Structure 1
Amino acid sequence: MINFLASMLKTAKIPYKENELLAPKSTFKVGGTARLFITPETPAQLESVISAARSAELSFFVTGGASNVVYPDGTYEGAIISTQQIKEIFYDSDETTPDGSVLVTCQCGVPMAAFVDFCTKKNLSGAEQFAGLPGTVGGAVYMNARCFDRSVSDILYSTTHIEYTGEKAKFVELPFNASDWEYKKSPFQAHTAEDGSQITQRYLTQATFRLRPAGAAAHEQIVADCKKYIAERVDKGHFKYPSAGSVFKNNRAFGAPSGKLIDDCGLKGLAVGGAQIAPFHGNFIINTGSATAADIRSLVQAAQKAVKEKFGFELEPEIIFVQNN
């Protein structure tokens, strides 16, 4: 199956590497090797790769910047498909919405930093809270990332994705519908068809955002706001060690952030192997130098168990463990 896919990639001239180290390719710096690491350069190539992997019944995982991902230890006996080379940005200053917003379209592999930088240079306001957010647009939309009380869905206009129902693939454009989005939830995380009769899988290829044209006079303020949010991330310790940022979602109905619940259980500083619940933030797990996926999973389970016993509350992880089936 691996050989079949590798042969297809070579014939189609789609870039890939064999037995590629995964740890350097995630913000956690954890993981073994992937039998195939594929970097398609267009949405059409992405569809071809996914379709071929499905036809070969080969395990695969689609990722962007892997900033919320824990790669498995050992050898991943399938294909990691990275979208980071699908990274064009489209913008027409003359195209506006009825409310006066302008639209910026980013392919899935555009780094969030590049998107924010583009908006800053064009004096477009609305994306400042995402300054300093690692990863790609595709990952941020998939997770409906939330930063400083602003969710990606708050500025979303439409999305385009590859959709599979059964074996058939098609490109689908979805206008933003607020009912499809919740706190750190998106329609790309749901894999059941609307009628419940078939399994539908969706892979984001691009997203269009609504921004406010602020004019040259606002440029310095936009820059200052971006710097402020980056500084807050630095102060919270986001960049002290390799990590994936917040490990668990917050549940506001419960009345306390997940990090505080973990702290109240006395777990800050708890270490398993090379992984540690950060001494400076209860909702971060950090790689102190030699962490494994198993170490991180052990800490996730320890935090869930302690919080459940003390508060009766089930912590929901937002980091994604890639399964080595």
Structure 2
Amino acid sequence: MNTLVAGVRRLRQSDLGWSLSRSPEALLGAALLLLYAALALLAPWIASQNPFDPAALDVLDARLPPVWLEGGQWRYLLGTDGQGRDLVSVMLYGLRISLLVGLASTAVAMALGVALGLLAGYSGGRLDKLIMSAADVQLSFPAILVALLIDGLSRTVLPREVHERLSLPIVVMAIALANWVQYARTVRGVTLVEKNKDYVNAARLIGMGRTLILWRHVLPNVLSPVLVIATLSIGMAVLTEATLSFLGLGVPATSPSLGTLIRIGNEVLFSGEWWITVMPGLLLIGLVLGVNLFGDWLRDVLNPRLK
């Protein structure tokens, strides 16, 4: 506990902490992210029911309105969906899936893009042209289209049972493969500058290998722009997953994300049960807003041209 308190104190006294405290937008974004992270982690204890346990559901409670509308019940504060699931509970569990997909796909895309960018920028020649040509070709397609293509190919190649069992990793890989280009291009540009500096030439002279040079000397200098891209990409990854799920191509309905909940609610939107799609939609908006506000601040504070 003392170590944690000391770490928080050092953060508040640092330039980064001072900048954060002076930015209301960044504080709002950080507060939203902390709130959503806490809700996702504590969902099994906060939720009033397990929405994926059929024994806990009652079909007679299906499509109940929020508590402030006529017919609402206090045990279902935001109402229920068509299966009688408490909307608060299913949103908390859906938030966990959306955050998991967003973080995992961003981590995979960052690892792939950084590795290819370092390799292309440091090696040069044909390998650089090959990697950058592939990146340029992919940039001609929208990210959502690439993700749709990868998910569709997996559905064609894999048996239905296998695909349903691996649907979450497939969605993560589809989003990651659709978003690695921006990391690779950024890292390549920084690597082209760093590889000709004196400290890299000195490392070559003492016989240090290429892999060690990239890992120990070049990589630390490309982390700042990469972290900014990663922060902003989490929101886009969450939206991409929500779009795929809304189209019925994301995670299965047995473990729905926020996008799946919006799609389910959209089917009954014009019959008057607006809360089934509006409430998850508002939760998704808040999540993406928090990521973008914090990412914009991080981009500004790590940009040397603004200092």
Q: TM-score range by the shorter chain?
A: under 0.3
- TM-score, normalised with respect to structure 2: 0.23
- TM-score, normalised with respect to structure 1: 0.22
